Structure 1
Amino acid sequence: MNNNGSKILVAYFSWSGNTKAVAEEIHKQVGGDIVEIVPETPYSETYSVTVAKAKAEQASNARPAISTKIADFDKYDTIYLGYPNWWGSMPMPVATFIDTYKMSGKKVAPFFTHGGGGVQRCMSDLEARAAGAKFTDYLCLSGSSAKKSQGEISSWVKKTQN
């Protein structure tokens, strides 16, 4: 719980560990609960295999099953939701998460990591998929700097708590 009494959830999807590092730093700063969005069928550790699977999932608008279960999602007021930019948008397990756990009426603080593509459609696709949520400004970090961005994360976190 942060200082305004909001119940906070930090939810993230991470393949390489960069988004996980950002999520853990956010959690350290805001408290609340943290959960990883985990696909039931893991992605390969081989980059090219993961690229092929993820691109096919995006092309077919797939909703891969996730093993992530949140018992009482309704109790959360604020969701810090993070994921890597995969080919301009969200990894499809994140779409499954959003479809499963409705964001309407919640404050959503989005954070993204990328390998050079920046934010692209990550924010606009999230806004379209999570209709009814109240969005803060997003945080977008290069994956290569994700593990050493505590100051930038802290500045962003402060803005999300207004």
Structure 2
Amino acid sequence: MKKFFLPILAAVCMVGLTACGNTDSADNSAASASAEKSAAEQSVGEEESAEKSETEQTADDAAAAGQAEENSPETNAENDSDKDTIVVYFSATGTTKGVAERIASVTDADIFELSAAEPYSDADLDWNDKNSRTTLEMNDPDVRPAIANDTVDLDGYETVYIGYPIWWGEAPRIMSTFVEAHDFDGKTVIPFCTSGGSSIGRSGENLASQAGGGNWLAGGRLDANISESELQDWINDMN
């Protein structure tokens, strides 16, 4: 009897072990599949998050660039202003800049600063040096220094103030570059200059000749410390 039950008991144990093995295998497979799914979902989530961050950053960058362009006074080459007067000037040391800004304020005009493609250093401006850049330029009437930012559009303006320092009794050659590149027909052009003591001389007339058009007035020299009332009187005399 005992011999009869031993084989049966062994068989039952084998079945039980096999079932346990199958269960463990199934559990391990399920756990493995779940881990793979979680890893995949995490990867997709990270990728979507990265794409979203990149998209948001791109949008932020575009908005910032647009704001910078909107705030810049010299980014738009087309004249979309409703004003009829503009002050265009070149200033190497800041003196002419100060006067130009005051004229623009008094006349409620637009303003545009010309910048040299190659900025002038202190050594360039040394009039005592016969070999300085400005000395060589002013000794050659055919020199035309390049302008870095000549994007101003004069269309639509009726009055154009043109300002510059006096170098060797003349307007800097960069002003010749400017006036020869623009159409002044139908416009009233008022030159003004700053200097340590020299008058405007024939600099305005010479620019008018180079421009080849426009109604150029005599203009004048303006002191850096000119009072508000004196500036207003000068402007009134020009109109």
TM range (shorter): 0.7 to 0.9
Matches within 5 A, 1:1-162: 7-46=84-123, 47-48=125-126, 52-60=132-140, 61-141=142-222, 145-161=223-239
Q: Which is worse superposed, 117-126 or 77-86?
A: 117-126
- The amino acid of 2:177's aligned partner reads T
User: Alignment partner of 1:146: what SS?
Assistant: coil
User: Alignment partner of 2:189: what SS?
Assistant: strand
Distance 2:214 2:158 in 1: 10
User: Alignment partner of 2:136: what SS?
Assistant: helix
User: Alignment partner of 2:126: what SS?
Assistant: helix
Distance 2:190 2:134 in 1: 24
Contact 2:115–2:147 (Cα < 8 Å) also in 1: yes
Q: Deviations over 1:102-124 (max 9, x none)?
A: 22321101111111221222122
4+ runs deviating over 6 angstroms:
none
Contact 1:18–1:147 (Cα < 8 Å) also in 2: no
Q: Which is worse superposed, 66-75 or 89-98?
A: 66-75
Distance 2:162 2:213 in 1: 15
Provide closer, same or farther for how the CA distance between residues 69 and 123 of structure 1 changes in structure 2, counting only shifts above 3 A.
closer
Distance 2:212 2:156 in 1: 19
Contact 1:78–1:109 (Cα < 8 Å) also in 2: yes
Structure with a larger share of its residues in strand: 1
**Amino-acid identity (%):** 34
Q: CA deviation at 1:92?
A: 1.0
Unaligned regions of 5+ residues in structure 2, if any? 1-81
- The amino acid of 1:62's aligned partner reads V
TM-score (norm 1): 0.84
Q: CA deviation at 1:159?
A: 2.3
Provide closer, same or farther for how the CA distance between residues 68 and 147 of structure 1 changes in structure 2, counting only shifts above 3 A.
farther
Provide closer, same or farther for how the CA distance between residues 50 and 133 of structure 1 changes in structure 2, counting only shifts above 3 A.
farther
Contact 2:175–2:207 (Cα < 8 Å) also in 1: no
Contact 2:182–2:211 (Cα < 8 Å) also in 1: no
Q: CA deviation at 1:125?
A: 1.3
| Higher RCO (Cα < 8 Å, 6 or more apart) | 1
- The amino acid of 1:20's aligned partner reads K
Distance 2:217 2:201 in 1: 17
Aligned residues: 154
User: Alignment partner of 1:124: what SS?
Assistant: helix
Provide closer, same or farther for how the CA distance between residues 146 and 49 of structure 1 changes in structure 2, counting only shifts above 3 A.
closer
Contact 1:8–1:78 (Cα < 8 Å) also in 2: yes
Contact 1:6–1:77 (Cα < 8 Å) also in 2: no
TM-score (norm 2): 0.59
